[in-house]
Structure 1
Amino acid sequence: MNRATSLIRRVRLITHTDPTLVANYLPFPIFAPAWTPAPPLTCHHARFLATKQGKGHSKVQKVKPKQDKQEVEIKQKMTVSALAQAMNKDFDHVFEALLNTSVDLDSLEPHSVLEEQWIKEVVKRSGMKFKWAKLVESKERENKDTQRRDPPDPAVLVSRPPVVTIMGHVDHGKTTLLDSLRKSQVAAGEAGGITQHIGAFLVQLPSGEKITFLDTPGHAAFSAMRARGALATDIVILVVAADDGVMKQTIESILHAKKAQVPIIVAVNKCDKHQADPARVKQELLSHDVVCEEYGGEVQAIHVSALKGDNLLELAEATVTLAEVMELKGDPTGLVEGTIIESRSDKGKGPVTTAIVQRGTLKKGCTLVAGKTWAKVRFLFDENNCTVKEAGPSTAVEIVGWKELPSAGEEILEVESEKRAREVVDWRCYQEEQDKLKEDMQAIEVKQREHHESYKKEREPLAHLSWRQRKSALYKANKKLMAMRPSEKLESQELSLPLIVKGDVDGSVEAILNILESYDAHHQCQMEVVHFGIGDVSENDLNLAETFSGTIYGFNVGVNKSIQQMATKKGIMLKMHKVIYKLIDDLKDELSSKLPPSVKENVIGVCASVLAMFDVTVGKKKVPVAGCRVQKGQLDRKMKFRLVRDRDVIWEGSLTALKHHKDDVQMVKTGMECGLSVDQDIEFRPGDEVVCYEETETRQTISWDPGF
């Protein structure tokens, strides 16, 4: 009875301390609305509550509230990294969760795709619960894209000006020819005397006919621009210098014209020069299937001098005549269709595109789609930067109002409303994502197979070890690398040059990137483009350059004073250029500067052999001295020396003494005898050869030929 009383007292003490424990420990519910002192308990109840306290009866046992498990959204074919991100864990957590399963952990990588059962197993072992992610795109999405219209009714067609592209080799006078036609000074204002953008101009002849001209760059770097010019044109005027003949870009221009199935008119330029030979030019064109009328072909060849203005009217009349034969017609009605020739970012206007209207009439307020962006046309400008109200077929015009900058070469299509434009852009973005997803999945599968095979080969010696033993072995193998200081790690990495490229227009950036793709480092300095874009150098560009320790190269772009000051403060190199080949030359110099200097060895003197050995007392120490005779050249104490025995190099270093008889000398010439001692304890033998040499460092040059 005393024992029961003691138990009851203990339980009452507990309940007075924490009244909620009564409800937790009693085998029956308590319905009291508020807590009151516990009523007398029976021995049975007291014994039950005391048993719940266990050995630690002096301490109150706390009951943990039940916690809800974290939910993880899963889906089919999840990668390890995707699963880890969904669980808010890292890769190692997923790896450890798959221990003691049949999953091949040796080949497990963040991009590895897991089967459904292992995705669920990882979630369960992590103390979480899973739920299937909602398939938003479970239904096949409706195609919301827009396309070009069907061919127009011949009744609505009207005559239109021809679109003529002037093409040819660099410095053959293309822009000067166009300049003479429209009586302007385009060529005089070009950097380096070369065209570096596609220029689009409307020229009205004295007879009233209109021709839309496209002037394409002749430089090797701008091949893509020439291709776009040929695809958007009706006629190609091929300019060939009479004193230079058919060159590399001339041939390339012919190929572009043939690919686009566009007729050619040859303008043999610079006929006013003494060394001009138009007949040779026409003969050279024969080998490229360009047969002029003189040789029984259909290609017109006009001898002109763009600089003096000779025969330019004949060239224009030949162009108009060919256009009349072609019966060029256009549809000025309905929705607009066109092609972007060039795109750029303007400070005042925002994203701007130069386009050729091919169908319909473009007006202010039209809604256009190009690639994955759209525009509500705010302004239209001609080649003289004057606003125009509308632009019909074959008209070159600048369009302002794009939400984002489209790429040059994109097709322009008008849609009915802004809502429709957003639908088209959303669909195209979705299609691109789906295509990229398929490519990524294929690449992942290929990478997994390759990695699995190579990993097995590399780990065959560790196949008999357990997982923990393997991990230990791999850790020891990489211990030296892990212990390296940051400076040593940087030295161990390959030489590299990170680049940020900025250009004024899309075509210029495209041309520069095409050139950079031709760079193959081999064992030389690596080059990596970490960012490229259109427009002036910005603070974001500086941040990227600082992060990657890179250099900013700008082409026809500006840098304001605050950006320059910030770059100087951060030690970032800004290299601005207006001529593309000068930019590439500068880049080649910087790549070369990254290379370590090459060391060249020049032999100055050779002793045929060591004649004898003897010791000389210096203070209280005996110093071994080799007696030699200079066979060739001279020995200079300031230079480096090498001891050769039986064609093996025994020692390399410096002399501590060089004597002729008893005198210390700086130099010993051919035929003279001398004694020499070295900075190490080296045993000379009769017959050894001593070589005196010097090392000179020369700067290495990058072996990269961009083609110009």
Structure 2
Amino acid sequence: MSETIRQLAALVGTPVDTLIEQLASAGMSYSNADELVKPSDKRKLLEFLRSQHGKGAAPAVEVDKTPAKITLRRKTVTELTVSGPQGRGKTTVPVEVRQKRTYVKRAALDEQQADPADSEREEALRKLEASRAQQAEELKALEESDRKRREEEARRKAEEEARRAAEAEAQRLADEQARAAAAAPGAKAPEAAADAQRKPDEARPPRKDLPPKAPEKAREEPRRHKPGRGSHRMAETEVSEDVAAPPYIRGELHLSNERRSAPGKRRGGKPQRHGDSGRGGSGGDRHGFSRPTAPVVREIEIGESIVVGDLAQKMAIKAGELIKALMKMGVMATINQTLDHDTAVLVVEELGHSAKRAEERDLEQELLAHSELQGEASVRPPVVTIMGHVDHGKTSLLDYIRRTKVASGEAGGITQHIGAYHVETDKGVITFLDTPGHAAFTAMRARGAKLTDIVVLVVAGDDGVMPQTIEAVQHARAAGTPLIVAVNKMDKPASNLDAVKQELIQHEVIAEDFGGDVAFVPVSAKTGMGIDDLLDAILVQAEVMELKAVAKGTASGVVVESRLDKGRGTVATVLVQQGTLNKSDFVVCGVEYGRIRAMFDEAGRPVQEAGPSIPVEILGLSGSPNAGDDFTVVANERMAKEVAHTRAQKLREARLAKTQMAKLEDIMANMGQTSEQQTLNILIKADVQGSVEALRDALTGLSNELVRVNVIGAGVGGITESDATLAAASKALVIGFNVRADATARRVVNDAGIQVLYFSIIYDVIDQVKQAVTGLLGTEIREDIIGIAEVREVFRSSKFGQIAGCMVVEGIVKRNKPIRVLRDNVVVFQGELESLRRFKEVVEEVRNGMECGIGVKGYDVKSGDQIECFERVEVQRTL
């Protein structure tokens, strides 16, 4: 650090003139007191002064007087401004930060650390030597105890051998004496012979009230049987001859050696030593071993097929023994493989059992017998199915009839599920089934045609007959149900009723005025024209068909739809066809069963019972049944569980057999292929079971000889962590139809790089997968989620209406973008924002971590919902 001459003079306590003279004497020229002195000049001056006064002697050793440890403390006071509750005002909060740091001189630290290291090393060495010495002593003691134990065992063994030799010699002498006494005239009685067999030092107690002698037949040698091949046959246990039994017990074959002597005592009154018992058992006379007198033969019931593990369980043998027997017969099988009836019978007979064909149970017969109705049949309401092409006005027509707005709850106004509703009109009750009109829902329309009485075919008057219209006609004809054609949109000038009749004649749908049997009714779902005529035509057709059902008794019907609800569990929509369905009834739906905990009508109102042709929603099933399964009311839960488990077992066996056949077919098909077939794995999750089945069938049908679409999994509900893990392991594409992935699943998706696509309209799914499979690349409309807001509280304002107080948890929420409302990761509404405000100011966007007020147009949100903001982007498709 450079200093002026004046500062240096004040520091060393020397006048300025004297310091300038000393610098000049040292060979440095300084004239002004304010000139800076260089550090090198300072060192030269110091050496010059030392040479002048000390004549080059070594400087004295300076004593370091600086402290060994210095502690510095620092305090900083700042102010922080925070917003008040609900944005009302601001509050200033003082924040005081205190810091403390301690600095230790390195020399002192080295001195402290030098000695402890040496002492710790010496202590460790001392402990190591002590541990080694202790270990050597313990090893020596163990060797000594082991030597003594071996010597003791050798001594005991020698004594035991000597005792056994003495007993054998005594037994031999006793046997010789007994034989000699029996051969001599006037032989002794059996009691005396038995006394002769005793040792000389044993005294015989007097015998009193001996039991009668066993008959000679019981004393005969028991018959031996040849051991069987299976492990279920017990090998014969020889009777031990080490201990001689009294004559009155000798003939009892099923008694152990302990029973032949007094319990707990040896003959002669001495206590019985441990180890003297024979092979009969390890305990007293109660737990003696009983030898079987005949092989155990079981009668095994075998159906058309049976799993190896189940067959082994029925024969009470290990699965490995059964697999060995099959291998000896030339059949290679695993524990989970299915055997046909003939193979199972052969292996059962080979193992010594008998087999019989399992009769078709008796559970289904009992179920039919229980479901028989007794009583007079009465007139029931007709079940009407609405069919037709997309956007021909099916749901709008039904809306006008029952005065509700179903289409507003569907994505883009397109029906995605089967809906069941019953309408009470002035002329009677009519049950309607609204089926989707797109070609991908062919299976759902087919189920609707099978459980319906009348089909109403909706055709737009200005559009005419379309491909899905033809498919609806085919399903109705195949089901043998009457057809009524409702020509919709007749309020438009371009509608032509005669043209529609002419087009349908080509598909064998002939109008009544043309000499046919099909009623054509011109209607308008917008103005209500012809609605009464359509209802009259339906009721007239129902009267002609004379629809009747027994209203009293156990109920039965068909499952229309099923879904999973997070709060209520499995919710199934059923249509009662016979009897009366009551709350708390036990029902069987396919392979699912349960007790009805609650029933609701189509408006969500709880009901206690439902008669024929009335659709209701039921809660309480063990799982989601498939749409189209029959349901039946049973007597109790035990019967319901047995029927469901029996059906599940049959379904499992059929699936295993089908899987094995499919594997063989795949091998045979791949033998002729020169190039490997590409596989596109897809995992499907949807909100209802019907959408799952329709998507699976539609996507599987896109396979060709070069690319195969493989649906590795499909289910109902949101995308979970297990679904994401399965997709990551199979490298599959995940398709979410009106469902979303939870937070855990999203984390797995991001880590594994899985592609997840969300859709709300089914033909968007089919078009995108079709383009990927066939190679028709181009631009696509993709929905990118740009932000998610979580509803914290809902407020109602007289000026603005319902306002949702939200926190933006992801991305950005923009005012001019479409939104979806998610409840439990399931889409419940799609629309647009009515307003987006922040602190009473209308804003265009709100970013992550900020609060805002959102007004949703046309829907009432609840606390806990999520508002998803997305945008549609046109991107270039890549395969």
Give the TM-score taking structure 1 as reference length: 0.60
Query: Any idea what the Cα deviations from partners look like across 1:377-430, whole Å, max 9, x if unmatched?
Result: 011111111211211111011111101111100011111111111121233234
1:390 aligns with 2:573: no
1:216 aligns with 2:443: no
Aligned partners of 2:702 and 2:773 also within 8 Å: no
1:156 alignment partner, SS class = coil
Residue in structure 1 matched with residue 368 of structure 2 by the alignment: 147
Which of 661, 685, 689 lines up with 1:506 in the alignment? 689
Q: 1: distance between equivalents of 2:517 and 2:566?
A: 47
1:560 aligns with 2:742: yes
Task: Provide the aligned C-alpha RMSD in A.
Answer: 4.6
Residue in structure 1 matched with residue 532 of structure 2 by the alignment: 313
Residue in structure 1 matched with residue 724 of structure 2 by the alignment: 542
Q: 1: distance between equivalents of 2:474 and 2:161?
A: 95
Residue in structure 2 matched with residue 365 of structure 1 by the alignment: 584
Number of residue pairs the alignment of both structures matches: 484
Aligned partners of 2:338 and 2:657 also within 8 Å: no
Aligned partners of 1:502 and 1:533 also within 8 Å: yes
1:238 aligns with 2:421: no
Residue in structure 2 matched with residue 574 of structure 1 by the alignment: 756
* Distance 1:25-1:287 versus aligned 2 partners, 3 A rule: farther
Gaps of at least 5 residues in structure 2 are 1-146, 167-229, 234-299, 778-875
Deviation (angstroms), 1:547: 1.7
Deviation (angstroms), 1:32: 11
Query: Any idea what the Cα deviations from partners look like across 1:244-272, whole Å, max 9, x if unmatched?
Result: 21221111111211222211111011112
1:406 alignment partner, SS class = coil
Q: 2: distance between equivalents of 1:137 and 1:304?
A: 64
Deviation (angstroms), 1:165: 0.6
Q: 1: distance between equivalents of 2:543 and 2:657?
A: 49
Residue in structure 1 matched with residue 553 of structure 2 by the alignment: 334
1:518 aligns with 2:673: no
Letter in 2 for 1:505: V
Residue in structure 2 matched with residue 53 of structure 1 by the alignment: none
Aligned partners of 1:197 and 1:507 also within 8 Å: yes
Q: 1: distance between equivalents of 2:516 and 2:381?
A: 25
Mean alpha-carbon deviation: is it higher for 570-579 or for 503-512? 570-579
Residue in structure 1 matched with residue 627 of structure 2 by the alignment: 408
* Distance 1:593-1:419 versus aligned 2 partners, 3 A rule: same
Alignment of 1:262-273 (within 5 A): 262-273=481-492
2:447 alignment partner, SS class = helix
Residue in structure 2 matched with residue 640 of structure 1 by the alignment: none
* Distance 1:401-1:309 versus aligned 2 partners, 3 A rule: same
Deviation (angstroms), 1:497: 3.0
* Distance 1:135-1:364 versus aligned 2 partners, 3 A rule: farther
* Distance 1:211-1:575 versus aligned 2 partners, 3 A rule: same
* Distance 1:318-1:16 versus aligned 2 partners, 3 A rule: closer
Letter in 2 for 1:261: G
Residue in structure 2 matched with residue 9 of structure 1 by the alignment: none
Deviation (angstroms), 1:30: 4.5
Larger radius of gyration between Structure 1 and Structure 2: 2
Residue in structure 1 matched with residue 208 of structure 2 by the alignment: none
Aligned partners of 2:737 and 2:759 also within 8 Å: yes
Q: 2: distance between equivalents of 1:402 and 1:447?
A: 37
Q: 1: distance between equivalents of 2:725 and 2:620?
A: 29
Residue in structure 1 matched with residue 767 of structure 2 by the alignment: 585
Query: Any idea what the Cα deviations from partners look like across 1:347-393, whole Å, max 9, x if unmatched?
Result: 11211111111111111101111111112001111111121121111
* Distance 1:438-1:515 versus aligned 2 partners, 3 A rule: closer
Query: Any idea what the Cα deviations from partners look like across 1:281-333, whole Å, max 9, x if unmatched?
Result: 11121222212111022211111111222111211122122222323222110
Q: 1: distance between equivalents of 2:742 and 2:774?
A: 29
Query: Any idea what the Cα deviations from partners look like across 1:496-523, whole Å, max 9, x if unmatched?
Result: 4322111111111110111122122423
Aligned partners of 1:304 and 1:310 also within 8 Å: yes
Which of 380, 383, 404 lines up with 1:160 in the alignment? 380
Q: 1: distance between equivalents of 2:667 and 2:732?
A: 35
Query: Any idea what the Cα deviations from partners look like across 1:171-229, whole Å, max 9, x if unmatched?
Result: 11111110111122112332133211111111222x25221111111100001111111
Aligned partners of 2:420 and 2:602 also within 8 Å: yes
Alignment of 1:379-458 (within 5 A): 379-433=598-652, 435=654
Letter in 1 for 2:764: K
Q: 1: distance between equivalents of 2:666 and 2:444?
A: 39
1:323 aligns with 2:542: yes
Letter in 1 for 2:680: L
Q: 2: distance between equivalents of 1:415 and 1:306?
A: 43
Aligned partners of 1:537 and 1:554 also within 8 Å: yes
Q: 1: distance between equivalents of 2:471 and 2:735?
A: 28
Residue in structure 1 matched with residue 422 of structure 2 by the alignment: 202
1:307 alignment partner, SS class = coil
* Distance 1:135-1:413 versus aligned 2 partners, 3 A rule: farther
Aligned partners of 1:73 and 1:132 also within 8 Å: no
Letter in 1 for 2:404: S
Deviation (angstroms), 1:564: 2.6
Q: 2: distance between equivalents of 1:573 and 1:148?
A: 52
Q: 1: distance between equivalents of 2:329 and 2:543?
A: 77
1:280 alignment partner, SS class = helix
Aligned partners of 2:724 and 2:749 also within 8 Å: yes
2:646 alignment partner, SS class = helix
Alignment of 1:29-428 (within 5 A): 30=163, 142-145=361-364, 146-147=367-368, 156-205=376-425, 207-428=426-647
Q: 1: distance between equivalents of 2:569 and 2:352?
A: 41
Aligned partners of 1:556 and 1:577 also within 8 Å: yes
Q: 2: distance between equivalents of 1:700 and 1:380?
A: 47
Aligned partners of 1:148 and 1:337 also within 8 Å: no
Letter in 1 for 2:765: L
Residue in structure 2 matched with residue 598 of structure 1 by the alignment: none
Give the TM-score taking structure 2 as reference length: 0.49
Q: 2: distance between equivalents of 1:421 and 1:16?
A: 66
Query: Any idea what the Cα deviations from partners look like across 1:658-695, whole Å, max 9, x if unmatched?
Result: xxxxxxxxxxxxxxxxxxxxxxxxxxxxxxxxxxxxxx
Q: 2: distance between equivalents of 1:377 and 1:321?
A: 35
Aligned partners of 1:23 and 1:30 also within 8 Å: no
Letter in 2 for 1:147: L
Deviation (angstroms), 1:573: 2.2
Letter in 1 for 2:532: L
* Distance 1:447-1:320 versus aligned 2 partners, 3 A rule: closer
Aligned partners of 1:305 and 1:311 also within 8 Å: yes
Deviation (angstroms), 1:18: 4.8
Deviation (angstroms), 1:571: 2.3
* Distance 1:16-1:396 versus aligned 2 partners, 3 A rule: closer
Q: 2: distance between equivalents of 1:447 and 1:175?
A: 44
Q: 1: distance between equivalents of 2:515 and 2:666?
A: 62
* Distance 1:228-1:586 versus aligned 2 partners, 3 A rule: same
Q: 2: distance between equivalents of 1:104 and 1:377?
A: 47
Mean alpha-carbon deviation: is it higher for 244-253 or for 216-225? 244-253
Letter in 2 for 1:178: L
Aligned partners of 1:15 and 1:21 also within 8 Å: no
Residue in structure 2 matched with residue 660 of structure 1 by the alignment: none
Letter in 2 for 1:163: V
Deviation (angstroms), 1:539: 1.3
Letter in 1 for 2:517: E
Aligned partners of 2:587 and 2:633 also within 8 Å: yes
